[in-house]
Structure 1
Amino acid sequence: MKDPRSELCSKYIKIFLVVSCYWVVSIATVFVNKSLLSGQSVNLEAPLFITWFQCVVSFVICFTLSTTGGITGVFSFPKGSPWCKEVARNVVPLSIMFTLMIAFNNLCLKYVGVPFYFIGRSLTTVFNVALSWVLLKQATSMRCMLCCACIIFGFYLGVDQENVLGSFSLLGTVYGVAGSLMLSLYSIYTKKVLPSVNQEVWLLSYYNNAYSIIIFLPLIVMNGELSVLWNYNKFGSTFFWIQMIIGGVCGFAIGYVTSLQIKVTSPLTHNISGTAKACAQTVIATEWYNESKNTLWWSSNIIVLASSAMYARFKQLEMEEQAKKPIPEDRKSLV
């Protein structure tokens, strides 16, 4: 018989490794994208093209895994094709939200510093509550509303202190708010679209990247990036393409480690881990870029982080209470 203590120890080691992997990949992805979008080594003023190329890399990886069925002994990848009319009709509207979401996120990262990036995109929870009420008619408890109010206050304080420190970017902040809005919309509509892909998250990611490659093209043209690309002189550089491919691989990897962390822990643990990761990311970024922040700036981060963690905890308690309620006899046949 297996030793229960040995099994428990193995489980904790696995959880530790997965959470650590999520932290490393997530933080590395932010720094890699920041380097690509505004670093001097790349120096390409075409953020949408860079984001488009990352979608191309993710699509190639997903296509390869879908063809091979995944990686033996690691994970299986569902088979499917994004070029089916029925699939396109169901998924393309969501893919538009997905495209705008990653575009706004990268545009935000281009114009704001990594330390402020978390605050710039901190309104996702607030938009989730507002859109759930408007679109789904779902009410929110008073304690969760108070958490949202604290998040808004923390966001305002962070913006104010960025302005005081002289590093505030209105354009980057607007992109951050827009990215938070699109992330909320994407999260809500994902629940409606998943049944059409047999609840396969990886298949949905595959389709989203496939359609985003097409959706991004007119956006690149409208953003005036064609002339920038035409005059760019580093397309022949091997180092440039290595950096671009690394960015694309990181974009794919963050999706995998996020799903893996939720699988081996829970959605609540994932939220807590993400919140703690954001705190570590902010500290690392201020040291990496040698930026000095005042007490009020740090207070804004603490307020947003604590409020987000409390909101996640309150939602979990509410879901547990809801699950314990008995189902009325007249509704049992409908469940």
Structure 2
Amino acid sequence: MKNHQSDLCASYIKIFIVVSCYWIVSIATVFVNKTLLSSASVNLEAPLFITWFQCIVSFMICFTLSKTGGIPGVFDFPKGTPWCKETIKQVIPLSIMFTLMIATNNLCLKYVGVPFYYIGRSLTTVFNVVFSWILLRQATSHKCVLCCAFIIFGFYLGVDQENLLGSFSLIGTIYGVIGSLMLSLYSIYTKKILPIVNQEVWLLSYYNNAYSIILFLPLMVINGELTQIWNYDNFNSIFFWIQMVIGGICGFAIGYVTSLQIKVTSPLTHNISGTAKACAQTVIATQWYNETKNGLWWTSNIIVLASSALYARFKQVEMEENSRRPIPEEKKSIV
């Protein structure tokens, strides 16, 4: 009995540490990126270049881990190379979505405040429902659809209140909506591509970052960032490059702690943890930036957070019910 209780206690401590790491890394990543993208100390009007550099840092970490086989006693990094012709052909469509997703997310963060960032990107769940029906022909229950309706209402209310408070950014919100759309598409197509890389999430991350380094180059040219980079005065600043490297490490770390949290808990717990983290992030951001919000603004956040959590719960219940249904004889494998 004592051994069982000690094992249970150790398990709870492990879960607490992992969830805490996820919260710390995720919130820190948002604040670090906001500093890089918008602060006067950095003052570089090249958000895609900053994102591109973060992909380079993540790629170099993945490349090193692929050569060493991972971190002994922590995790094993799967073997694979992104420069195989067949792999490029199969994975590059997903990498395009990945590139657009992280680009629009950072562009959204550049133009909107951290307190509004979660609301600006809150339509991912809605797009998941829409694309699951259009692309996969998967129906969604009325309860989940109702949750999506409340998310849309919360998003609208948040935009309205942000506008009344004078801090609304139309271009930032548009980037947020596009980022939500791309995240939804990326999530759906990831399920299709994972079997190609033997269900190895780390290998897929390695490939995505490798291809994104190339895909970002024309985007930086189109966005007119070459002139900004050429005329930038702080390239010889050690502090600037320390900030850039920290941003890249945070970008890699958030992928690791996200996967680790899902592994030691469950996808539903991860969603609930992410929702609670977003709530804490919003509160911390309003205090950090000394921003005062009215009651309706906070109401919009509560509506979106509660609706997202309920949606995750309803989907879990549906999945459990489907797993308990007997499979018809004609659909069973002869094996």
TM-score, reference length from structure 2: 0.99
Task: Tell me which residue corresponds to 1:47.
Answer: 47
Task: Tell me which residue corresponds to 1:324.
Answer: 324
Task: Tell me which residue corresponds to 1:73.
Answer: 73
Task: Tell me which residue corresponds to 1:154.
Answer: 154
Superposition deviation, residue 2 in structure 1: 6.9
Task: Tell me which residue corresponds to 1:218.
Answer: 218
Superposition deviation, residue 166 in structure 1: 0.2
1:254-273 mapped onto 2 (5 Å cutoff):
254-273=254-273
Task: Tell me which residue corresponds to 2:94.
Answer: 94
Superposition deviation, residue 201 in structure 1: 0.3
Residues 35-71 of structure 1 show CA distances to partners (whole Å, capped at 9, x for unaligned) of 0000111110000000000000000000000000000
Task: Tell me which residue corresponds to 1:238.
Answer: 238
Task: Tell me which residue corresponds to 1:27.
Answer: 27
| Distance in structure 1 (CA, Å) of the matches to 2:139 and 2:285 | 37
Q: What amino acid sits opposite 1:30 in the alignment?
A: V
| Distance in structure 1 (CA, Å) of the matches to 2:276 and 2:88 | 37
Q: Secondary structure at the match of 2:19?
A: helix
TM-score, reference length from structure 1: 0.99
Q: What amino acid sits opposite 1:73 in the alignment?
A: G
Superposition deviation, residue 333 in structure 1: 1.8
Task: Tell me which residue corresponds to 2:207.
Answer: 207
Show structure 1 runs of 4+ deviating over 4 A.
none
| Distance in structure 2 (CA, Å) of the matches to 1:329 and 1:226 | 62
Q: Which runs of 5+ in 1 are unaligned?
A: none
Residues 76-122 of structure 1 show CA distances to partners (whole Å, capped at 9, x for unaligned) of 10111100001000100000000000000000000000000000000
Residues 114-135 of structure 1 show CA distances to partners (whole Å, capped at 9, x for unaligned) of 0000000000000000000000
| Distance in structure 2 (CA, Å) of the matches to 1:153 and 1:132 | 21
1:101-250 mapped onto 2 (5 Å cutoff):
101-250=101-250
Task: Tell me which residue corresponds to 1:276.
Answer: 276
| Distance in structure 2 (CA, Å) of the matches to 1:39 and 1:108 | 15
| Distance in structure 2 (CA, Å) of the matches to 1:35 and 1:334 | 58
Q: Secondary structure at the match of 1:79?
A: coil
Task: Tell me which residue corresponds to 2:292.
Answer: 292
Q: Secondary structure at the match of 2:122?
A: coil
Q: Secondary structure at the match of 2:33?
A: helix
| Distance in structure 1 (CA, Å) of the matches to 2:96 and 2:102 | 10
| Distance in structure 1 (CA, Å) of the matches to 2:333 and 2:45 | 58
| Distance in structure 1 (CA, Å) of the matches to 2:122 and 2:38 | 22
| Distance in structure 2 (CA, Å) of the matches to 1:69 and 1:185 | 31
| Distance in structure 1 (CA, Å) of the matches to 2:298 and 2:99 | 32
Q: What amino acid sits opposite 1:70 in the alignment?
A: G
Residues 208-251 of structure 1 show CA distances to partners (whole Å, capped at 9, x for unaligned) of 00000000000000000000000001001100000000000000
Q: What amino acid sits opposite 1:196 in the alignment?
A: I
Q: What amino acid sits opposite 1:22 in the alignment?
A: Y
Q: Secondary structure at the match of 1:333?
A: coil
| Distance in structure 2 (CA, Å) of the matches to 1:76 and 1:188 | 26
Task: Tell me which residue corresponds to 1:59.
Answer: 59
Q: What amino acid sits opposite 2:275 in the alignment?
A: T
Superposition deviation, residue 334 in structure 1: 6.8
Superposition deviation, residue 281 in structure 1: 0.1
How much identity, in percent, do the aligned residues show? 81
Q: Secondary structure at the match of 1:30?
A: helix
Superposition deviation, residue 151 in structure 1: 0.1
Q: Secondary structure at the match of 2:90?
A: helix
Superposition deviation, residue 318 in structure 1: 0.2
Q: What amino acid sits opposite 1:99 in the alignment?
A: T
| Distance in structure 2 (CA, Å) of the matches to 1:3 and 1:257 | 28
What CA RMSD, in Å, does the superposition of the two structures yield over aligned residues? Answer: 0.9
Q: Which runs of 5+ in 2 are unaligned?
A: none
| Distance in structure 1 (CA, Å) of the matches to 2:30 and 2:161 | 22
Q: What amino acid sits opposite 1:199 in the alignment?
A: Q
Q: What amino acid sits opposite 2:28 in the alignment?
A: A
Task: Tell me which residue corresponds to 1:5.
Answer: 5
Q: Secondary structure at the match of 1:326?
A: coil
